Amino acid sequence: MKTATARAHPNIAFIKYWGNQDDVLRLPANSSLSMNLDGLYTQTTVIPDETLFSDVLVLNGEIASGKSLERVVTHLNMLRQRCEIVTHVRVESANNFPTGTGIASSASAFAALTVATAAVFEISMTERELTTLARRGSGSASRSVPTGFVEWHAADTHADSFAESIAAPEYWNLVDVVAIVSDQHKATGSQEGHTTAATSDLQIARVNGAADRLMRCKQAFLARDFATFAEVVELDSNLMHAVMMTSRPPLFYWLPTTLDIMQRVRAWRSQGLNVCYTLDAGPNVHCLCTADAAPEIQRQLQQVAGVMDIKIATPGGAAVVIV
Amino acid sequence: MKTATARAHPNIAFIKYWGNQDDVLRLPANSSLSMNLDGLYTQTTVIPDETLFSDVLVLNGEIASGKSLERVVTHLNMLRQRCEIVTHVRVESANNFPTGTGIASSASAFAALTVATAAVFEISMTERELTTLARRGSGSASRSVPTGFVEWHAADTHADSFAESIAAPEYWNLVDVVAIVSDQHKATGSQEGHTTAATSDLQIARVNGAADRLMRCKQAFLARDFATFAEVVELDSNLMHAVMMTSRPPLFYWLPTTLDIMQRVRAWRSQGLNVCYTLDAGPNVHCLCTADAAPEIQRQLQQVAGVMDIKIATPGGAAVVIV
């Protein structure tokens, strides 16, 4: 058998995914909306090997074991079942960005793994089906399969909870200026976090309003109406973190610098810059802005104490097989 | 006519008041529970003067006008109506602590004003009625009238939404070690904030769970069970701030130092210290602890960058007429 290498970008959600209606199938509690991040990627090579008794995972150059391996093997088993293939594989995967710090590495990782595995097994699938399979590995991975700006639909069945592009990367020249405030691996991964969402008294209210927020966000996005877009994106991020902070036990992903930057972003916007913040399950602040505002945002962030690094990403394309 | 001077303590809520079911009568959305803060007080003298055409307010030594005066005049009109008296008054009021920074100055102010005015007009009233009248000036003022630890009942009518002591100050030797992280007057006062509570998608869920939290908090308090008390107090504070941050427009009262201290408090508790945090509508962190832990909490807080001052308060008594 041949080998296959795929690349997928992480994505940043404008409307967040937090909590499942089905944890095994990873059917999300609400639909979400995101942008792929160009320049950042996971590159994954899948090498079938008839001589292997079990799968081997090499993560960023090191042989993986424990939970990381287990999660990948579970995903490979699901893919093998779909493809009706039994061969074990060696998976070599690497990110060009730090993992576990609020840039969703599991999204790009499971998108790349799914696309590479389908390619190496030579099974023809629609993009829609690929997004549902990627979803099984990590919910937000479904959003890293299609190109540009992507909507992932909540649904009651595996086949209906798919993701699709709502616009190409060129549609709106948004930039994600990511203020890295920690490169420590976070104490609670987002996978565990999703299962705690239901312990917050606020989760149901967040979920009940999500479809309306997604509609408002999508309309503002399609109209390139930054002011409306900014308001709903920040609200949705605040709602997710409100649920996190009121879960039992509570999850606090914010660091003092995180809060500092959030407040500065609001001040910059009130001074006329097209910028808003959003945070995933981590302390880094994604400052979403229009391209014309990006240099000034970067310059300002460089002056904030506690900002260790700044990553800049424009809208990224689909997950693709490169070899 | 004689004059009267009263003193009332501010209070810190264990279970928070945020949002009204009736903004004019200040009937709260949920019942709340608090502790009066000894050592901190508002002292208010009411001097009837038949020669005045309108009320005069002297706040911390300066003649007040605008909204402060208007709010006091509205309250005095309500009290005069109850007492069937028309005389205008000169009110001299001063706090021995900074105003508008998360220590509830309006609570002690309207408790002292209500008690002093009732005294000077020589109207005999039950404590229960005094708490309802104080409530009309500032909701949490109702909790500063009775002694020690106080429950304020949500209800549908003016007469039924009263406050009463659930325990004397001596019942449990709790200490409030207040980390002052800002002496700036906050941008949004809590009075305006209450009216925005309903704009958060999360307020209804917060209110729906409040009676259960109050019961758990009261039981833990009466059993002097610090671990359970700490958990529900922090949860309730987080829930209120979750509502604030998701209101439209959002209210962010936390500063970076606020978040830093909240995280340290949780760490100190996990290390065995009896301490938990709670925040009112401001950035200062109230570190509630048992008396034995207070010196260590104070020592630790002194080493935190951004802590400008530390106030220490033990459980305080009722609002009283002192002259």
| CATH at residue A151 | 3.30.230.10
Token pair of A304 as six digits: 């904030």
Mean pLDDT along residues B274-284: 95
Confidence band, pLDDT 50/70/90 cuts, at residue A283: very high
CB contact under 8 A, A239 and B201: yes
Chain A hits for B206, CB-CB cut-off 8 Å, are 201-202
**A183 vs A187, A188, A303, A308, CA distance in Å?**
12, 14, 19, 8
User: Over 60: is that where the pLDDT of B258 sits?
Assistant: yes
Confidence band, pLDDT 50/70/90 cuts, at residue A182: confident
Confidence band, pLDDT 50/70/90 cuts, at residue B183: low
Report which DSSP code applies to B25: T
- Looking at the fold, whether A133 and A14 belong to one and the same domain comes out as yes
Residue B321 lies in a domain: no
Chain A hits for B248, CB-CB cut-off 8 Å, are 235
Residue-level pLDDT at A183? 65
- Of the candidates B185, B181, B163, B161, the one whose C-alpha atom is nearest the C-alpha of residue B59 is B185
CB contact under 8 A, B205 and A208: no
Residue-level pLDDT at B248? 94
Residue A321 lies in a domain: no
Residue B318 lies in a domain: no
User: Over 80: is that where the pLDDT of A84 sits?
Assistant: yes
- Looking at the fold, whether B305 and B187 belong to one and the same domain comes out as yes
Instruction: Write out pLDDT tens, residues A287-304.
Output: 999 999 999 999 999 999
Token pair of A185 as six digits: 């691996």
Residue-level pLDDT at B1? 64
Least confident of B55-59, B185-189, B271-275: B185-189
Boundaries of domain holding A98:
4-168
Mean pLDDT along residues B76-90: 96
Mean pLDDT along residues B1-9: 93
Give CA–CA dist B302/B310, Å, rounded.
Answer: 8
Chain B hits for A252, CB-CB cut-off 8 Å, are 259, 262-263
Domain boundary among B136, B168, B200: B168
Are A189 and A102 spatial neighbours (Cβ–Cβ below 8 Å)? no
Token pair of B301 as six digits: 């807080």
Chain B hits for A257, CB-CB cut-off 8 Å, are 256
Chain A hits for B254, CB-CB cut-off 8 Å, are 259
Residue-level pLDDT at A15? 98
Peptide bond into A249 cis (omega under 30): yes
Candidates A30, A202, A207, A260: best to mutate against B (most CBs of B within 10 A) is A202
User: Over 60: is that where the pLDDT of B174 sits?
Assistant: yes
- Of the candidates B176, B172, B183, B195, the one whose C-alpha atom is nearest the C-alpha of residue B24 is B195
Residue-level pLDDT at B261? 98
Chain A hits for B238, CB-CB cut-off 8 Å, are 245-246, 250
Residue-level pLDDT at A97? 83
Chain B hits for A243, CB-CB cut-off 8 Å, are 242
Residue-level pLDDT at A219? 98
User: Over 80: is that where the pLDDT of A176 sits?
Assistant: yes
Candidates A228, A237, A238: best to mutate against B (most CBs of B within 10 A) is A238
User: Over 70: is that where the pLDDT of B188 sits?
Assistant: no
- Looking at the fold, whether B158 and B15 belong to one and the same domain comes out as yes
Which positions in chain B have a beta carbon within 8 angstroms of at least one beta carbon in chain A? 201-202, 204-206, 208-209, 234-235, 238-239, 241-243, 245-246, 248, 250, 252, 254-260, 262-263
Q: What is the mean pLDDT of chain A?
A: 94
Domain boundary among A113, A143, A168: A168
Candidates B188, B199, B200, B202: best to mutate against A (most CBs of A within 10 A) is B202
User: Over 60: is that where the pLDDT of A102 sits?
Assistant: no
CB contact under 8 A, B239 and A246: yes
Instruction: Write out pLDDT tens, residues A224-250.
Output: 999 999 999 999 999 999 999 999 999
B205 sits in the region (left: phi over 0; alpha: psi -120 to 50; else beta) called alpha
- Looking at the fold, whether A177 and A248 belong to one and the same domain comes out as yes
Chain A nearest-CA distance from B259, in A, is: 6
- Looking at the fold, whether A175 and A303 belong to one and the same domain comes out as yes
User: Over 80: is that where the pLDDT of B61 sits?
Assistant: yes
Mean pLDDT along residues B78-102: 88
Residue B195 lies in a domain: yes
Mean pLDDT along residues A176-201: 82
CB contact under 8 A, B201 and A206: yes
Which positions in chain A have a beta carbon within 8 angstroms of at least one beta carbon in chain B? 201-202, 204-206, 208-209, 234-235, 238-239, 241-243, 245-246, 248, 250, 252, 254-260, 262-263
Give CA–CA dist B44/B177, Å, rounded.
Answer: 25
Instruction: Write out pLDDT tens, residues B285-299.
Output: 999 999 999 999 999
Give CA–CA dist A279/A261, Å, rounded.
Answer: 11
- Looking at the fold, whether A190 and A306 belong to one and the same domain comes out as yes
Peptide bond into B146 cis (omega under 30): no
Domain boundary among B168, B203, B234: B168
- Looking at the fold, whether A226 and A302 belong to one and the same domain comes out as yes
* Closest CB from B209, B250, B256 relative to A238: B250
| Residue ranges in chain B assigned as alpha helix (H) | 66-83, 105-120, 127-137, 190-196, 203-208, 210-222, 226-245, 256-270, 294-302
Q: How many CA atoms within 13 Å lie on the side-chain side of B279?
A: 26
The number of domains in chain A is 2
* Closest CB from B242, B258, B263 relative to A202: B242
Give long-range contacts, CB 8 A cutoff, 24+ apart: A289-293. Answer: A289/A174, A289/A175, A289/A177, A290/A173, A290/A174, A290/A175, A290/A226, A291/A173, A291/A174, A291/A175, A293/A175
Are B263 and B159 spatial neighbours (Cβ–Cβ below 8 Å)? no
CA A270, A272, A276 angle in degrees (round to 5)? Answer: 65
Give CA–CA dist B78/B74, Å, rounded.
Answer: 6
Chain A nearest-CA distance from B83, in A, is: 44
Give CA–CA dist A26/A55, Å, rounded.
Answer: 23
CB contact under 8 A, A252 and B260: no
Chain A nearest-CA distance from B58, in A, is: 35
In chain B, pLDDT over 90 holds for what percent of residues? 90
Instruction: Write out pLDDT tens, residues B25-51.
Output: 999 999 999 999 999 999 999 999 999
Confidence band, pLDDT 50/70/90 cuts, at residue A192: confident
Query: Is the torsion defined by CA of A216, A222, A227, A229 positive or negative?
Result: positive
Residue-level pLDDT at A315? 98
* Closest CB from A234, A246, A255 relative to B235: A246
Residue A76 lies in a domain: yes
CB contact under 8 A, A235 and B246: yes
Are A167 and A148 spatial neighbours (Cβ–Cβ below 8 Å)? yes
What is the Cα B189 distance to its own chain's centre?
Answer: 13
User: Over 60: is that where the pLDDT of B100 sits?
Assistant: no
Q: What is the mean pLDDT of chain B?
A: 94
Residue A318 lies in a domain: no
Chain B hits for A258, CB-CB cut-off 8 Å, are 259
Give CA–CA dist B38/B10, Å, rounded.
Answer: 8
Chain A nearest-CA distance from B181, in A, is: 13
Residue-level pLDDT at A188? 65
CATH number, position B268 = 3.30.70.890
* Closest CB from B245, B254, B256 relative to A242: B245
Q: Kindly provide the ipTM of the predicted complex, given to two decimals.
A: 0.89
User: Which residue in chain B has the smallest CA separation from A247?
Assistant: B235
Residue B322 lies in a domain: no
Token pair of A221 as six digits: 């996005």
User: Which residue in chain A has the smallest CA separation from B250?
Assistant: A235
- Looking at the fold, whether B147 and B190 belong to one and the same domain comes out as no
Give CA–CA dist A95/B248, Å, rounded.
Answer: 38
- Looking at the fold, whether A162 and A194 belong to one and the same domain comes out as no
Chain B nearest-CA distance from A246, in A, is: 6
Instruction: Write out pLDDT tens, residues A6-36.
Output: 999 999 999 999 999 999 999 999 999 999 9
Give CA–CA dist A214/A296, Å, rounded.
Answer: 29
CB contact under 8 A, B256 and A257: yes
* DSSP structure string for A264-283: HHHHHHHTT--EEEE--SSS
Least confident of A113-117, B70-74, B184-188, B262-266: B184-188
- Looking at the fold, whether A13 and A161 belong to one and the same domain comes out as yes
The phi, psi pair for B123, rounded to 5°, reads -100, 125
CB contact under 8 A, A246 and B257: no
Top-confidence residue, A291 or A185? A291
Residue A322 lies in a domain: no
* Closest CB from B208, B246, B263 relative to A252: B263
- Looking at the fold, whether B136 and B221 belong to one and the same domain comes out as no
- Looking at the fold, whether A253 and A149 belong to one and the same domain comes out as no
User: Which residue in chain B has the smallest CA separation from A235?
Assistant: B246
In chain A, pLDDT over 90 holds for what percent of residues? 90
User: Over 80: is that where the pLDDT of B165 sits?
Assistant: yes
User: Over 90: is that where the pLDDT of A319 sits?
Assistant: yes
- Of the candidates B62, B283, B295, the one whose C-alpha atom is nearest the C-alpha of residue B186 is B283
